[in-house]
Structure 1
Amino acid sequence: MTANAPYSASQRDTVVELIQRSAAKYPDRPFTVIDGTPYSYGEVDRRSNAMARELTSLGVKAGQCVVTLFDTNIDVFTCWFAINKLGAVWVPINTAYRGEFLRHQVSDTEARIVICDDHYLERFSHIAASLPDVQLILTRGGATDQGCPITIKPLDTCRGSDSAPLPLEVKPADLAALIYTSGTTGPSKGCMISHNYLTAIGRVNRRYTWLDEGQTLWTCLPVFHAAALCAVLSVMADGSCIALASQFSLTRFWDEVETSGATSAMLMASIFALVAQAPECEAEKRYRGKLKMVFGVPITPPVRKVWQERFGVELVSSWSYGQTEAIRMTAVPLGETPPETCAGRAVDEYEIQIFDDQDQPVPEGTVGQIVLRPRHPGLIFDGYWKRPDSTAAAWKNLWMHTGDLGKIIDGYLYFCDRAKDYLRSRGENISSFEVESSFLSHHAIAEVAVHAVGEQSTEDELKVTAVLREGAQLTEHELCLWSLENLPHFAVPRYIEFRDALPKNPTGRVLKYQLRDEGCTPTSWDREAAGISVRRRK
């Protein structure tokens, strides 16, 4: 498509129609294989039909939000499709969230029903008093908490038995999901995702994935991530399969991929390097050359070379760029060899430009803000949930402003930098505002600033600079241990520094750029030097 291609009509679809078509055409083909257990298209369709009827009896209606907090299991899909078949809005929450992170997102949705794995029930019990809209929690496994003021029932009581198809009442423009952003400069915002947007990103992703009909795509990314959703939706049109590992295991990686028979795999961040550096194993040797493509970001040139030469992977692609608001803005066609450091070029569905601070296009090769707009209807998010001002700001001059800096050379996009308060650690986007809110709940903290230190090339090292309340006694070590219990694992800072005051401008705004520039000072306490490690917890 040329750079001047006009805005035009395109294919319109819904998640409900997509699963129904696939189930009708490929009823016995595996839709997903989770930790080695297969589930066919027909089975998943029937399960979701039956559950949708039960959710109706609980009062779920079109337009209402239903929150899920799940590890990777079959009920992710049963609940997602059941919710969407009622015209309701699915809200998948990151399983690392707890405390204020979890409270904000659940409360923001005004959801009446939450569905979760048993071991996450305690998190809701701790914040139940701050969730006035939630009336019912359905637990996968049937756990109960007698001290929780919210009614709790086993999810098994809502599986239903009537699996006949439901009347189709969902339109492409209807909301299918809320996916929360990282909230880089304030509370995280819910991106309103339409049915058409979800199905479109599946088609886009499939176009750039090495996968023939009926073949398998493997990933260990959790399905609450937009990237994993993109992968799931990409296999459905022709009855291909998404193989999911509920957890990443370095020692089992090649055994799991071999068992799945995958020809492509979607990975993320440090996984590429970890596998590349791992000792050789028999499954790796047996599967050499059978995995045709791996993709994800970031991949360094040395790691790319290992995957190609040692593992025999023909295509190792990190040439993409996207956000929840527009998940797959750039890519590189299969068979094309782009510049090593680029982020691909705009896919046919989008127009991408680089603007200066006045929203004027800049000359080729000049760094500015990355902006985009769709060439067809329903291809990006519909705005931020209940935040019209934020939506209008992002859509200034009818272009979506990403807040990221980049440049375009010979049609290829190069990512250059991130918005000032954007943080990324362990493959997760992080809201500095929400981390700060959590630290301010500590009785000894009067003021706090959370920011990145170091080069910020791919992943950030987080630092907390804090001011203690008058008379308070607290060590950096104690605050770190507190953060382990009260923050998602990926938001636990590496560095902590106590100061008498934070640097501020005349209006009282904390000068984070100054803290970033100062980086690690002689008085910065280092968690790693103290021997404290951080791991994902359930």
Structure 2
Amino acid sequence: MHVPLTTNDFIDRAELVYGDRIGVVDEPVQPAAAVENLTYRDLARRGRALQAGLDELGVPEGARVAVVSHNSARLLELLLAVPSSGRILVPVNFRLQPEEVSYIIGDCKADVVLIDPELDEALADVGARHRFVLGADTDQALLRFDAEPHRWQQPDEDATATLNYTSGTTAKPKGVRLTHRNIWINSVTFGMHMQVSDRDVLMHVLPMFHCNGWGMPYTATGLGIKQVVLRKVDGAEILRRVDEHGITLMCGAPTVWNMVLDAAQQWDGEIPGRDRVRLVVAGAPPPSRTIARIEEELGWQFNQIYGLTETSPLLTVNRSRAEYDNLPAIERAKMLSKAGAPSLGTRISTDADGEILVASNTVMDSYWNNPQETATAMRGGQFHTGDGGSIDGDGYLTISDRKKDVIITGGENVSSIEVEDVLFTHPAVAEVAVIAVPDDKWGEMVTALVVRRDGERVTETELIDHARHSLAGYKIPKQVLFTDSIPRTATGKVQKFRLRAQFWTGDRQVN
């Protein structure tokens, strides 16, 4: 027997088994009216009403529905409802500039675009055949509780469920086609490795647009877990909500937990969640001392994963093992600083150049309308991550270099090529190279090395302001350093490893 693995399974099970349980606690402070605490039955009912609304608009199966939003209950219900109707959800990074969002909407040819109220004015020129502002606008125009939606005619686990845009080796973002099967296997495997149960309480600290919240919204829904929405990251607010809601599980980039560590210094009383909270961290891994502080000062369990948007994202998992229990905190932290061992069903290897290659059911179908990039990434029957690393005798992966020119800062991917292109438009810039520099707060800091044109004078502040007009905030260089020359190969290729060498210690070339 073959039953398709589709995202419908998660919300269907939640409604059947946990219908009366509170499923979502929405962000109370937001420009769109909060959706009050929703049971899983409410969430399923709203999802069907949304599907009926899309039916009425004439949005067919396979059509793209784009959403640009901070974390919210409405974004969560879109992640569940849109793919389950046979349509494709396109969650867009809300930090992008209007022209960047327009490019994505145009590239995927979205039929519908849904905009967070806070972004409505800035994205006024971003549109599609149907454009709505999340909140009262969508509730009135899209939710049809008086009609039954058309059922997905032929559920297909290999159909595209979400289209997630990611920065890569080119300045233009690429659309990653994640299938229902990709999402299903990622979410179930993730839940198993993190030992998630229906007794957990998840707080959405990680932006849900980011690779579908790493798949955790589906994991949590299928297991009937209460999901608490955090709209904007704030260290003290995270501590307060951990205390108020009994949070046990959170995902996020290292910079988030640095904010929490800072806030904990001012917290009055015992740190909430001690010996209860489990963190899942990905992106540029924090230094060992930060991992030790999380476990010692907060009493929270540190877990690390490695993956990419193209892999749904789970590839490796590093959890504290029984063998680590008697180690000193800093020694255990060193063990946890590795990327981890392959998740169940994932095969990881390295080629002669040290590039990490993977084969897994979580690897994407393809890049959207980009067969050339797809063929390059999938050559030889394995996905080429663009990252370099080594694998020890226990199968644990350590990342040593990023072959693609991508910087991971605060959990966000930044194309160094894109930043270089913007800086190079300044008339005083003769040459520019953008690299990652280690940073305790952001994991990696976007840093530009610039050669001025003869006779030209330009300051760091002026170049940063120049970049601000064209780039999302997280892409803007945190520092600009001036140099007399940029090292290149005989064929003119910039030798970024030489530029990075002055900032990175040892053999590691990414944080």
Quickly name the TM-score band, shorter chain normalised: 0.7 to 0.9
Please say if residues 67 and 114 of structure 2, whose CA atoms lie closer than 8 Å, have aligned partners that are also in contact: yes
Once the two structures are overlaid, the 10-residue window that deviates more, 279-288 or 385-394, is 279-288
- Offset of 1:203 from its aligned partner? 0.7
| Superposed counterparts of 1:144-155, under 5 Å | none
Please say if residues 254 and 286 of structure 2, whose CA atoms lie closer than 8 Å, have aligned partners that are also in contact: yes
Deviations 1:106-156 (A, max 9, x none): 221111321101232334335x5xx7xx333211257xxxxxxxxxx7663
- Which residue does the alignment assign to 2:92? 93
Q: Residue 312 of structure 1 is aligned with which of 299, 304, 313?
A: 299
1: CA distance, partners of 2:158 / 2:450? 45
- Offset of 1:219 from its aligned partner? 3.3
- Which residue does the alignment assign to 2:221? 236
- In the alignment, residue 60 of structure 2 is paired with which amino acid? K
Matched residue of 1:206: which SS? helix
2: CA distance, partners of 1:249 / 1:509? 41
Please say if residues 210 and 334 of structure 1, whose CA atoms lie closer than 8 Å, have aligned partners that are also in contact: no
Please say if residues 49 and 82 of structure 1, whose CA atoms lie closer than 8 Å, have aligned partners that are also in contact: yes
2: CA distance, partners of 1:141 / 1:288? 33
Change in Cα spacing, 1:511 to 1:156, as seen in structure 2 (3 Å) is farther
2: CA distance, partners of 1:303 / 1:503? 33
- Offset of 1:40 from its aligned partner? 1.6
- In the alignment, residue 115 of structure 2 is paired with which amino acid? C
- In the alignment, residue 25 of structure 2 is paired with which amino acid? V
| Superposed counterparts of 1:432-447, under 5 Å | 432-439=416-423, 444=427
- Which residue does the alignment assign to 2:6? 14
- Which residue does the alignment assign to 1:137? 131
Change in Cα spacing, 1:510 to 1:110, as seen in structure 2 (3 Å) is farther
- In the alignment, residue 44 of structure 1 is paired with which amino acid? L
- Offset of 1:485 from its aligned partner? 4.1
- In the alignment, residue 423 of structure 1 is paired with which amino acid? I
Change in Cα spacing, 1:25 to 1:447, as seen in structure 2 (3 Å) is farther
Q: Unpaired runs of 5+ in structure 2?
A: 29-35, 325-334, 505-511
- In the alignment, residue 350 of structure 2 is paired with which amino acid? I
Q: Percent identity?
A: 24
Q: Residue 302 of structure 1 is aligned with which of 276, 289, 297?
A: 289
- In the alignment, residue 21 of structure 2 is paired with which amino acid? R
2: CA distance, partners of 1:418 / 1:47? 42
2: CA distance, partners of 1:124 / 1:286? 40
- Which residue does the alignment assign to 2:52? 53
Matched residue of 2:366: which SS? coil
Please say if residues 84 and 152 of structure 2, whose CA atoms lie closer than 8 Å, have aligned partners that are also in contact: yes
- Kindly indicate whether residue 191 of structure 2 is the aligned counterpart of residue 197 of structure 1: no
- Which residue does the alignment assign to 2:388? 405
- In the alignment, residue 344 of structure 1 is paired with which amino acid? G
- In the alignment, residue 145 of structure 2 is paired with which amino acid? S
2: CA distance, partners of 1:472 / 1:50? 61
Once the two structures are overlaid, the 10-residue window that deviates more, 320-329 or 509-518, is 509-518
- In the alignment, residue 351 of structure 2 is paired with which amino acid? F
- Which residue does the alignment assign to 2:114? 115
- Offset of 1:61 from its aligned partner? 1.2
1: CA distance, partners of 2:18 / 2:438? 49
| Superposed counterparts of 1:273-422, under 5 Å | 273-280=258-265, 285=270, 287-289=272-274, 291-297=276-282, 298-313=285-300, 315-318=301-304, 320-326=305-311, 327-332=313-318, 335-337=321-323, 339-357=335-353, 368-374=354-360, 378-409=361-392, 410-422=394-406
Change in Cα spacing, 1:405 to 1:227, as seen in structure 2 (3 Å) is farther
Matched residue of 2:221: which SS? coil
Change in Cα spacing, 1:295 to 1:141, as seen in structure 2 (3 Å) is closer
Change in Cα spacing, 1:159 to 1:418, as seen in structure 2 (3 Å) is same
Please say if residues 231 and 242 of structure 1, whose CA atoms lie closer than 8 Å, have aligned partners that are also in contact: no
- Offset of 1:342 from its aligned partner? 2.2
Matched residue of 1:389: which SS? helix
Please say if residues 70 and 95 of structure 1, whose CA atoms lie closer than 8 Å, have aligned partners that are also in contact: yes
Please say if residues 76 and 208 of structure 2, whose CA atoms lie closer than 8 Å, have aligned partners that are also in contact: no
TM-score by length of 2: 0.83
Matched residue of 1:449: which SS? strand
Q: Unpaired runs of 5+ in structure 1?
A: 1-8, 143-152, 358-367, 521-538
- Offset of 1:14 from its aligned partner? 0.9
TM-score by length of 1: 0.80
- Which residue does the alignment assign to 2:163? 178
2: CA distance, partners of 1:473 / 1:308? 48
Q: RMSD of the TM alignment (CA)? A: 3.2
Change in Cα spacing, 1:448 to 1:330, as seen in structure 2 (3 Å) is same
2: CA distance, partners of 1:515 / 1:491? 19
2: CA distance, partners of 1:387 / 1:43? 39
- In the alignment, residue 370 of structure 2 is paired with which amino acid? R
Please say if residues 467 and 500 of structure 1, whose CA atoms lie closer than 8 Å, have aligned partners that are also in contact: yes
- Which residue does the alignment assign to 1:5? none
